[in-house]
Amino acid sequence: MKRKFLVLLVTLFSLAAIGMVVVQIVQTRRVTEISDNLFNVSVNNAMSNVIDQFDRMKMDQYLSQRERVRLRQYRRIEELNDRMLDIVRIHQDLFYDETRTRLDVALQDSAFILPQVRLSASDSNVIRRYNTLVNARKVLNDSAENKGGRPIAKPSEILTSDNFNYSMLDSLIREELILNGVDISPYIGVYDNNNSEFLFLSKSGVEENLMATPYRYNFLPSGIASAQEYHIVLHFPTSLIFVNDSVIFVLMNCFLIFVVIVLFLVAIHTINNMRKVDEMKTEFTNNMTHEIKTPLATISLACEMLQDPSVNSNDEMRRNFLNIIGDENRRMRTLVETILQSAKMAKKNFTLNCKELNVHDLIRATADDFKLTLESRQGTLTLNLNAPDATLYADELHINNMIHNLVDNAIKYSPEKPTITIETSVKGNRFELSVADKGLGISKDDQKHIFEKYYRVSTGDVHNVKGFGIGLSYVYQVVSLHHGSISVNSELGKGSTFVVSLPI
């Protein structure tokens, strides 16, 4: 997949995903607003039903027996006052003292006859009926006082008493809320605006929330209170006050969009990795072909030279060409062996052939193998084998190949005279082997990928570094199978140090 097409695909999908997210956000906001409105309508309908039911029910059902007597006395007196007011309104010519007989307010104590007025029989009956009502009201008041009862109370005063059955009001509100589709249990309070206090609280400690709530309703049982005297207030303790099927559907859509975006990013990441692996495999094939082709050409040329009688008769020249053939053959064998061993180690059922071995012996043998190469480039290889005990239980073939790869890399990535140092030490129960050079160094970005298969470090302007990106991957596999660890410390232009730690 071409890079431009991949970038275009990512861009188009990103724009589509952003558009879908924006649409879902707008839709979610609209659904939330609709849901809030529906919730408010449901609460208002429920409370309207509560107030209506409360008004239709008799006040006596909310009171104790003692409070019921007081309420009946009050209603009887109110009835007498109304009848007295009607008489005064109809026969204003018989009542003249406005300080004691006022229209619209039942404060009359008696009827006063206008001076020099001859009363007819009907007028006398009016006066007699009025005074009868006054006497009846006086008897009611005297009866309450003689029985040791409290003063006759207005119904609005009864609301503030401890005998009012607020639990019935609480149950009625919760029942109506459920019937209207609101299954969230609220905090309930009855607030007295005149005295600025709560007459009832379903739960203590929520006064501030109830004062700030928008759910406030006038409480007018049986029309006994003014419009702003008492309020029923509700507070719902959760921010998600209403979730319906539409909201759930929108949330599911947002979740699915998120899943699709994640899967797309994973797919793009996988495709990009596959593209990189494909490029590295192509480069690996080219490098491997070149690596094999070069020694084959050298061997072929050496064989042709050995066929020349003049060369064949010269023992020294013959030995040189035979040494060249042997070196190139070993080079190809090492190359093929590394590839084969790396492929084998990638299998799950791969097992090591471990035995006791001396790592110092393997290091010295590796140093001897690279002696001629270093001499040809006027390089040096220093051994600081400080480990008191270099005996490990490990696979000799792979440990030897690991050391060989590390030294070979140190030489290859040293553009001038190679300066290689191999050190060993023991730290706790770990054997440490370090291979240091003063070569090109490795950038921070490359250090993250150097142990990946087929990955090759960029060498900048140096183009004669041979390799196929499998050596350090093989080293990492060997160290991992031996339950060890490997790290690198490198700086561009100053060289690199690879440290291998293996269990003793």
Give the list of residues 6+ apart from residue 105 with CB closer than 8 angstroms, or none. 85
Q: Which residue has the higher pLDDT, 361 or 193?
A: 361
At 242 the pLDDT is 47
The answer to which of 54-68, 306-320, 353-367 has the lowest mean pLDDT is 54-68
What's the rounded mean pLDDT across residues 314-337? 78
pLDDT at 13 over 80: no
Rounded-to-integer distance, Cα 496 and Cα 408, Å: 13
Residue 105: alpha-carbon gap to chain centroid: 68
CB atoms within 10 A of CB 174: 17
If pLDDT is split at 50, 70 and 90, which confidence band does 421 have? very high
pLDDT tens digits, one per residue of 183-221: 788 899 888 887 888 888 888 888 888 888 888 888 765
Sign of CA dihedral 18, 24, 27, 31: negative
pLDDT tens digits, one per residue of 22-40: 777 777 777 777 777 888 8
**Are 180 and 41 contacting, i.e. CB atoms less than 8 angstroms apart?**
no
pLDDT over 70 percentage in the chain: 74
At 433 the pLDDT is 94
**Are 460 and 440 contacting, i.e. CB atoms less than 8 angstroms apart?**
yes
At 359 the pLDDT is 93
Rounded-to-integer distance, Cα 287 and Cα 464, Å: 12
Rounded-to-integer distance, Cα 77 and Cα 156, Å: 15
If pLDDT is split at 50, 70 and 90, which confidence band does 121 have? confident
Strand 197-201: give its sheet, edge to edge: 197-201, 187-192, 230-235, 215-218
Sign of CA dihedral 207, 209, 212, 213: negative
Beta pairing class for 495-503 and 430-436: antiparallel
Rounded-to-integer distance, Cα 237 and Cα 187, Å: 7
**Are 498 and 434 contacting, i.e. CB atoms less than 8 angstroms apart?**
yes
Angstrom CA distances, 323 to 129, 306, 320, 331, stand at: 149, 12, 5, 12
pLDDT at 311 over 80: no
Angstrom CA distances, 370 to 297, 362, 379, 380, 407, stand at: 22, 13, 10, 10, 8
Average pLDDT value for the chain: 76
**Are 496 and 437 contacting, i.e. CB atoms less than 8 angstroms apart?**
yes
At 164 the pLDDT is 64
**Are 312 and 318 contacting, i.e. CB atoms less than 8 angstroms apart?**
yes
At 117 the pLDDT is 57
CB atoms within 10 A of CB 185: 13
pLDDT tens digits, one per residue of 371-393: 877 887 888 999 999 999 889 99
If pLDDT is split at 50, 70 and 90, which confidence band does 246 have? low
If pLDDT is split at 50, 70 and 90, which confidence band does 357 have? very high
CB atoms within 10 A of CB 8: 11
pLDDT tens digits, one per residue of 51-101: 777 666 555 555 556 666 666 676 677 788 888 888 877 777 666 544 444
**Are 422 and 434 contacting, i.e. CB atoms less than 8 angstroms apart?**
yes
What's the rounded mean pLDDT across residues 179-183? 83
If pLDDT is split at 50, 70 and 90, which confidence band does 148 have? very low
Q: Give me 190's structure tokens.
A: 């009855």
Rounded-to-integer distance, Cα 56 and Cα 62, Å: 12
